[in-house]
């Protein structure tokens, strides 16, 4: 299995508080992604990174920010959590242009905003 | 990226082959077919991908029609642990690698 870890694995927080989720990889892959998964919507891309300090928005980026200061770490921040951000968050990695396109996913973080 | 159409659900007997179809009639010449699956509560797992030739790995086989408008993922000897949601995704191999997930096919393997 690809070396991807996510922390925390579970978190309960209150509306209005900031939350940061961490994705860590040991594969030295260039691309990293954050997805959220909700019932009835499948997986949707929030943000992605194509290198250190290089990030871009996905289809559901409102209310989220990301940062990548090192190749191995990709952080997802909810500046002020809302109940609509209760979801399961998955991180993924890919070699990108040097590979053949497959992505490898982490175990997920279950976030509950009360 | 081309849109795909998959049946919502399928059943398969344990030990038999599971054949999961996918339609992608608007696929472009440089787009690949990727298959992922998601076992309950886990992160999606890459299975296989192909461009136009049939592909096989330790997990599955991928059969792509000659016109590339449809494909079939084959799990040769399904086990109960293959019960999952299977996603067919069409996209270019290079570039940002963004995946657009549809609803997938829920495969139930029954004893």
In three-state secondary structure terms, A45 is strand
The residues with which B33 forms a beta bridge, in sequence order, are B50, B90
CA distance B77 to chain A (A): 22
The dihedrals phi and psi of A18, each to the nearest 5 degrees, come to: -80, 145
CB–CB of B97 and A101 under 8 A? Answer: yes
Decide: helix, strand or coil at residue B80: helix
Residue A1 C-alpha, separation from nearest chain B C-alpha, in angstroms: 10
Distance (Å) from the C-alpha of residue B50 to the closest C-alpha of chain A? 10
pLDDT digits (tens, 9 = 90+) for A55-74: 999 989 999 999 999 999 99
- Under DSSP, is residue A9 helix (H, G, I), strand (E, B) or coil? coil
Q: What is the mean pLDDT of chain A?
A: 92
Q: Quick check: B44 contacting A, CB < 8 Å?
A: yes
Render pLDDT for B40-85 as a digit per residue (tens, 0 to 9).
Answer: 889 999 999 999 989 999 999 999 999 999 999 999 999 999 999 9
Q: Which chain A positions have a beta carbon within 8 Å of B58's beta carbon?
A: none
């Amino acid at each position: 299995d690809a070396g991807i870890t996510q922390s925390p694995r579970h978190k309960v927080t209150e509306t209005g508080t900031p939350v940061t989720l961490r994705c860590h990889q040991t594969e030295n892959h260039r691309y990293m992604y954050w997805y959220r998964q909700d019932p009835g919507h499948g997986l949707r891309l929030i943000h992605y990174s194509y290198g250190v300090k290089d990030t871009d928005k996905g289809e559901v980026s409102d209310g989220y920010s990301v940062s990548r200061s090192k190749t191995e770490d990709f952080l997802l921040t909810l500046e002020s959590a809302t109940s609509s951000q209760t979801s399961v968050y998955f991180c993924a990695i890919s070699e990108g242009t040097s590979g053949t396109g497959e992505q490898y996913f982490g175990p997920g973080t279950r976030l509950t905003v009360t | 990226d081309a849109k795909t159409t998959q049946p919502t659900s399928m059943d398969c007997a344990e030990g038999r082959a599971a054949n999961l179809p996918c339609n992608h009639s608007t696929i472009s010449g440089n787009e690949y077919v990727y298959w992922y699956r998601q076992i309950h509560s886990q992160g999606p797992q890459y299975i296989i991908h192909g461009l136009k030739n049939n592909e096989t790995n330790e997990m599955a086989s991928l059969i792509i029609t000659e016109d590339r408008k449809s494909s079939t993922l084959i799990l040769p000897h399904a086990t109960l642990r293959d019960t999952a949601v299977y996603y067919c995704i069409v996209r270019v191999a290079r570039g940002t690698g963004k995946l657009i997930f549809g609803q997938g096919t829920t495969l139930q393997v029954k004893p």
